[in-house]
Structures are given as structure tokens and as C-alpha cells.
Amino acid sequence: MNNISRNVKHTSFFFLISVLLMVSCSSTKEWNVPAELAKEWKSEKSKITVRTEPKWMKFDFISDSAAVSLKINADKTVSGSIGMASFDDGILEKNSGNPEKTGVAYIVKCGKIGKIFEKDPLVSKEIEIWLSLIKTNMEAEIRYTEKGSKFPMAGIVFEEVKD
């Protein structure tokens, strides 16, 4: 009888753990893109810094200025340009942290883009744009995210494109 009782306890424990895991994994909240975000946005030219790692962990920094544009769609797809580089298959994600504390409400995963400006030494780079909450405009940061890096390349301010 003791073995049966132990087996029931183990089975119940594993069942409870399994249910908790399923609930926690499936609790990714669905969300809709706010109407005030699903628009076209543009920035003035801003200084953008590209970081390279040529050898021996020494970084080179090359800067120039470029404008940024985004078209955020209600289905969480994003297209746009950063200087000379453009992207068509960006994804909008909601930041998991509290935007009031982190300053980041949404993240645009641009994927791999090309050269941002003529002197840009990186022909291909993985980029994200971190968006703040919308006030009178929308502040953002461009981040180089290659190989897990989160290098801040630029701080920009977006304004809504009016027809």
C-alpha cells in the first residue's frame, strides 16, 4: 500500500508540474498593435555610429548621419529604411518589460540590413529599433544586435508622416 501511495503522490506531483508549465508557456498574451502606432513614421537625419570588430577585440567606430523611416502595420509587420539600407520583413514585438521603467515599449526586429551610409564598413548587419511610448512624437534607439550584442548606434525621434 505504501508503494501505491508514493506512486500516486509522484504522479500527482508530475501532473501538477506539467499543468503549471503548460499554463506558463501558453500565457504569452496576445496583443494588438495600437492604432496610434500602426502608421508611417520618419525621422530627421541623426548621427548613426557603426561599430566593427576588426581584430584583437579592438572596435572601430564610424559615424555619419542618416534619416530613418518605418511603416508599422496592424499585423505586426514593419518595413522601412535606415539611411541607404532598407528592409521589408521586419517584425514588431511588444517589450516584455514595463515601458515606464525601461523606456522601451516595442521592438522592431529589422533583420539583416545593408550599408547605412557610404562609409559604413559593414555590408550586412542585424538591427533592431527600440521604440518608446508615443507622446507628441516617438523616441527610439537603433541597436546593432549581431551575435547577441546590443550596441546602441543612434538615438532618434520619429514623427508621424501626415498625408
Task: Verify that 49 and 19 share a domain, yes or no.
Answer: no
Q: Which residue has the cell 503522490?
A: 9
Task: Verify that 76 and 104 share a domain, yes or no.
Answer: yes
Q: Is residue 10 situated within a structural domain? A: yes
Residue 19 has pLDDT above 50, yes or no: no
Q: Is residue 35 situated within a structural domain? A: no
Expressed as residue numbers, the domain containing 103 is: 40-160
Taking all residues of the chain, what is their mean pLDDT, rounded to a whole number?
87
Task: Verify that 26 and 44 share a domain, yes or no.
Answer: no
Q: What is the pLDDT of residue 7?
A: 59
Q: Are 72 and 32 in contact (CB under 8 A)?
A: no
163 pLDDT band, cuts 50/70/90, is: confident
Task: Verify that 87 and 145 share a domain, yes or no.
Answer: yes
Residue 59 has pLDDT above 70, yes or no: yes
Task: Verify that 79 and 97 share a domain, yes or no.
Answer: yes
Task: Verify that 60 and 140 share a domain, yes or no.
Answer: yes
Task: Verify that 117 and 53 share a domain, yes or no.
Answer: yes
Query: pLDDT tens for residues 77-110?
Result: 999 999 999 999 999 999 998 998 899 999 999 9
Task: Verify that 14 and 73 share a domain, yes or no.
Answer: no
C-alpha cell at 95: 517589450
Q: Are 140 and 152 in contact (CB under 8 A)?
A: no
Question: Into how many domains does the chain fold?
Answer: 2
Task: Verify that 68 and 146 share a domain, yes or no.
Answer: yes
Task: Verify that 155 and 90 share a domain, yes or no.
Answer: yes
Q: How far apart are CA 76 and CA 97, in angstroms?
A: 18
User: Residue 65 contacts by C-beta under 8 Å, 6 or more apart in sequence?
Assistant: 45, 46, 47, 48, 117
Pairing of strands 77-82, 68-72: antiparallel
Q: How far apart are CA 67 and CA 152, in angstroms?
A: 16
Q: What is the pLDDT of residue 22?
A: 45
